[in-house]
Structure 1
Amino acid sequence: MKIGVVSQALPYLPSRGGFRLYGGNLIRHLARRHEIHLVSLLIEDDADHLDWARRHCASVITIPVPRGAKALAPLSALTAHLWGRPLQQARAMSRALRRASGDWDVMHVEGGYAGGIVPDVPIAKVLSLHDSGTLRCDEMLKCSQSRREKLYYRLLRLHEPRFERLVYPRFERCTVVAAPDLAAVRRVVPRCQVDLVPYGTDSEYFHPVPVDKAARTLVFHSHLGYAPNIEAALEFANTILPLVRARVPGAVFHLVGANPGPKITELASRDGVNISANLPDLRPAVCAGQVYVCAIRHGTGLKSKMLEAMAMQMPIVGYPGALVGLAGTPGTHYLVAQDPKEFADHVVALLEQPERAGRLARAGRELVEREYSWESRARVYEDLYQTVMKERELRSRR
């Protein structure tokens, strides 16, 4: 097939997550059997990674997002709300796709915003949403870290359902990565045909790195400027870690990730909290921990950090919010805690029972290898592309 991939951020590997990571892994596997043509918005420092895209794609078209784009954001939000067509980049995207998509068999679009600026070209289209925008607003309102952030999500919550109802039905199929998002999209946009396609993970890249374990170290890796992750880090440092240290003196909470804000950096002054920010390779730091801890309570989608930790063969303890959409069995592949005391109990048990921690870690790694390969995700999308192409062809004959 000739597959057109349209993305709101340049796909490349290894990357910092989101549409870059998801799209990059799909392209890497689909390109083994198909001809990939990429059209992507180009933001921040992504231009440094264009060589990766050119190696894997038959053609690459980029649409730069200028530094002054924020000035047009209010007007773009208005046009998105009224017609489901964000003003910014829409004209350039329309020109690019009308010129490039003539011989494509199917179009795969990464991101709801990109879905809004894709023109109505006569081709079967799949929109990869990752999560429900409406549900994301609801969850972010529960963990926003500032009044400004809370106001932003309140306003976005007023806009998002209308935008979804205008945009999603333009596509033959939408996809999300977790069941709560599937239910939310079906509730908000009954006319949308939406399928569940969970994230994969690269278990060759994320593997157990042979490093010395740091005694009594509990590790969490994430984007440390994102509200649900900030809330999780503060929850563990403020509430759970003291319970652990009361029973395991010298226990250390090691935060690993990018862009820590003031609330996170302030934790570094505490006894028992270490922070490693913006590492070129986070794997050794994560693998040096004895237990992986994720106190996320809010958010949407399947957490890719959990798949990565399991692939690195880390024993995991998490709140239910951290484990949404994850296959496996509590007690066999990971431990689930309902409150801080139970969380601390699980952590202490794994520190005191290394054989049990090892069994849990090995089972998690086996689960990821069996259920979450990117190759399997690419095969799911191949089947989906064939389905929507046939559906569109049948409609054209009526």
Structure 2
Amino acid sequence: MMGDILFFAHRIPYPPDRGDKIRSYNILKKLCELATVHVATFADHDEDLGHAETLRPMLGSLHVEKRTVSKPVGGVRAILSGKPISLTLFDRPGIRDFVSRTMETESIDTVFVFSGQMAQFVPELPPGICFIMDFGDVDSAKFASYAESSSIPMRYVHAREARKLAAFERETAQRADASLFVSEAEAALFRSEAGLDADRVRALENGIDCTFFDPDAAFPAIERPAGPLVVFTGQMDYRPNVEAAVSFADDVLPIIRLQNPHITFAVVGRNPTGEVERLAGRDGVIVTGGVADIRSWLAAADVVVAPLRIARGIQNKVLEAMGMARPVIASRPAFEGIDAVPGRDLLVADTPAEEAQLVLELLSNSAMGEVMGRAARKRMLERYAWDETLAPLAALTGRDGLADPKDALAEVR
């Protein structure tokens, strides 16, 4: 008889309205189809605590801690302890107590951890309990990229975080029976850095809800600007998205407006930073903040752009736009990890100048954009349905008819 699953997530996996929560929610939902699941997670704010009640009926038990450690306090604790800030920001005794009680009172045979900082709560596991670590992206590589593009003193802060976090990631992967990443490119990078083989480090790709992200679905329409509309979507307090929005407004939009002065660039997403909000003061730029339904903006867009200069894993924003049958222009980092054909399913640009040229080409040839949008949606239906991308979870957790998760992992390898 199979046991229960203990699931960790650094952010409550509901609602699935941002990149990490889309992945964690869909993984959790799949695991709940396979077994009784007990969840330990964090809430960023009071609204998240309310969302916990939506999840509770599908779970065996749920423990939510509200995050209260500030970045300055987390930084001091990190220096004093020698740990990464990513860990000290999330270290809470209440999570450890819940884990201890759950391990004692429930029949746990699988521990599934979503996001590296939650691995600190996994105790020494007795034989027979499977530990699956879903890193998503190689976070240490992200901080290394931040260090390269930052000035002093943040260059040193990010470089330290990259080193400390990389060591913790390697240590965690050595403990885990399987380490998962959102794309084969991320998995390959980690294998090379951690010295582990493909039987221990593998890709579990993101998917997309193609029924929800469907141009023929029912959703409200927006009032379009008078001219062409170029849209960028994302969580607008996330550094790579902030830098992408600013870079497009600074380096790409002026080139486009020389030939097409009536274009509007819409930055669509929650919690825009002051740097993003200031873009709205420029001609041809609007910043929406949070919107009721992201599909409304995607459907209205003549072109969707993903001009990220730093990116890890698979970009949900690109999959969503492709699912909505919109023509997409992605930077090379934003395209990495997506199984699609440039020139057929989307366009890929290597420089801001090339992004500008491709936007102008699509705006001057709407028929090409429509053909590309249809090809994009076809690719999403063929390749990125969640049922397909998450199918390996049954074998990874031993819920495919094998005796236990350890046997399942051996079979997958």
Distance 2:355 2:89 in 1: 47
Report Cα offsets for 1:365-397 as digits up to 9, x if no partner. 1211221122223312112222894536999xx
Q: Deviations over 1:15-58 (max 9, x none)?
A: 3331x321111222332343222222333232020122113212
* Distance apart, 1:163 and its partner CA: 1.5
Match of 1:128 in 2: 134
Distance in 2, matches of 1:35 and 1:80, equals 37
C-alpha distance in 2 between matches for 1:152 and 1:194: 28
- Once the two structures are overlaid, the 10-residue window that deviates more, 27-36 or 169-178, is 27-36
Identify if the C-alpha distance between structure 1 residues 313 and 148 changes in structure 2 by more than 3 Å, giving closer, same or farther: farther
Amino acid at match of 1:285: W
Percent identical pairs in the alignment equals: 26
8 Å contact 1:218–1:253 — kept in the other structure?
A: yes
Question: Could you tell me how far apart the structure 1 residues matched to 2:187 and 2:15 are?
Answer: 27
1:65 Cα deviation from its structure 2 partner: 3.4
Task: Quote the offset at 1:262 in angstroms.
Answer: 2.4
Deviations 1:312-337 (A, max 9, x none): 22110121111010011001100112
1:69 CA drift (Å)? 8.6
Q: 1:168 to 1:64 in 2, by over 3 A?
A: same
Q: TM-score normalized by structure 1?
A: 0.89
Select 1:211's aligned residue among 218, 221, 226: 221
Letter in 2 for 1:103: S
2:406 aligned residue: 391
Other-structure match for 1:377: 389
With over 3 angstroms needed to count, the CA separation of the structure-2 counterparts of 1:56 and 1:77, relative to structure 1, is farther
Q: Does 1:351 align with 2:351?
A: no
Would the alpha carbon gap of residues 280 and 112 (structure 1) be closer, same or farther in structure 2, given more than 3 Å must change? same
Q: 1:347 to 1:68 in 2, by over 3 A?
A: closer
Aligned-partner Cα distance in 2 for 1:80–1:42: 25
Contact 2:45 2:66 in 1 (8 A): no
Tell me: CA distance 1:16–1:328, structure 2 relative to 1, closer, same or farther (3 Å). closer
**2:208 matches 1:201:** yes
Q: Is the 8 A contact 1:143 1:228 kept in 2?
A: no
Provide the rounded CA distance (Å) in 2 between the counterparts of 1:118 and 1:76.
Answer: 19
Q: 1:79 Cα deviation (Å)?
A: 4.1
| Candidates 321, 336, 343, aligned match of 1:309 | 321
Equivalences for residues 277-288 of structure 1 within 5 A:
277-288=289-300
Kept after mapping to 1: 8 A contact 2:74/2:88: no
Query: One-letter code of the match for 1:42?
Result: A
CA positional deviation for 1:254:
0.9
Instruction: Give the alignment of 1:185-334 within 5 angstroms.
Output: 185-191=190-196, 193-208=200-215, 209=219, 211=221, 214=225, 215-334=227-346
Distance 2:295 2:396 in 1: 33
Q: 1:74-111: CA deviations, max 9, x gaps?
A: 335654639x9859646433332232134123121111
Distance 2:185 2:160 in 1: 22
Alignment CA distance shift 1:91-1:230 (3 Å): closer
RMSD (Å), alpha carbons: 2.8
Change beyond 3 A, Cα 1:180–1:204: same
Query: Partners of 2:7 and 2:345 in 1: how far apart?
Result: 34
Whether the aligned pair in 1 keeps the contact of 2:70 and 2:89 (CA below 8 Å) is no
Residues 224-270 of structure 1: CA deviation (Å, up to 9, x unaligned):
22222222112211222122222223111111112222222221111
Q: Which residue of 2 aligns with 1:116?
A: 120
Give the deviation of 1:127 after TM superposition. 0.6
Distance in 2 of aligned mates of 1:197 and 1:291: 29
Instruction: Give the letter aligned to residue 164 of structure 1.
Output: E
Judged with a 3 Å threshold, the aligned counterparts in structure 2 of structure 1 residues 210 and 49 are, in CA distance, closer, same or farther, namely closer
Cα deviation digits, residues 201-232 of structure 1 (max 9, x gap): 22222222573765411110112222222221
* Higher mean C-alpha deviation, range 131-140 or range 326-335: 131-140
Does structure 1 conserve the Cα–Cα contact (< 8 Å) formed by 2:99 and 2:121? Answer: no
Structure 1 SS opposite 2:376: helix
Instruction: List gaps (5 residues or longer) in structure 1.
Output: none
Structure 2 residues not aligned, in runs of 5+: none
- Who is 1:106 aligned against? 110
Query: 3-state DSSP class of the match of 1:318?
Result: strand
Q: d(CA) in 2 for partners of 1:21 and 1:65?
A: 20
Task: Mark the CA change 1:166 to 1:290 in structure 2 (over 3 Å): closer, same or farther.
Answer: same
**Cα distance in 1 between the residues matched to 2:378 and 2:254:** 32
Question: Take 1:164 and 1:332, find their aligned partners in 2: how far apart are those partners?
Answer: 37
The one-letter code sitting in structure 2 at the alignment partner of 1:128 is D
Give the letter aligned to residue 211 of structure 1: A
For residues 164 and 233 of structure 2, the distance between their equivalents in structure 1, rounded to whole angstroms, comes to 32
| Letter in structure 1 aligned against 2:73 | A
Evaluate the alpha carbon distance shift between residue 347 and residue 65 of structure 1 in structure 2; reply closer, same or farther with a 3 A threshold. closer
Q: Would the aligned equivalents of 2:140 and 2:162 in 1 still touch at CA under 8 Å?
A: yes
**How has the CA–CA distance of structure 1 residues 270 and 89 changed in structure 2, closer, same or farther, with 3 Å as cutoff?**
closer
**Alignment pair present for 1:41 and 2:48:** no
- Between 317-326 and 70-79, report the one with greater CA deviation: 70-79
Task: Name the CA distance, whole Å, in 2 between partners of 1:301 and 1:224.
Answer: 18
**Farther-moved stretch of structure 1 (289-298 vs 154-163):** 154-163
Distance in 1, Cα, partners of 2:372 & 2:80: 50
Provide the aligned length of Structure 1 versus Structure 2.
Answer: 392
TM-score with structure 2 setting the length: 0.86
Residues 194 and 37 of structure 1: CA distance in aligned 2, closer, same or farther (over 3 Å): same
Letter in 2 for 1:100: T
Alpha-carbon deviation of 1:191? 4.2
1 CA distance for matches of 2:266 and 2:176? Answer: 43
Determine the structure 2 residue equivalent to 1:154: 159
Match of 1:11 in 2: 13
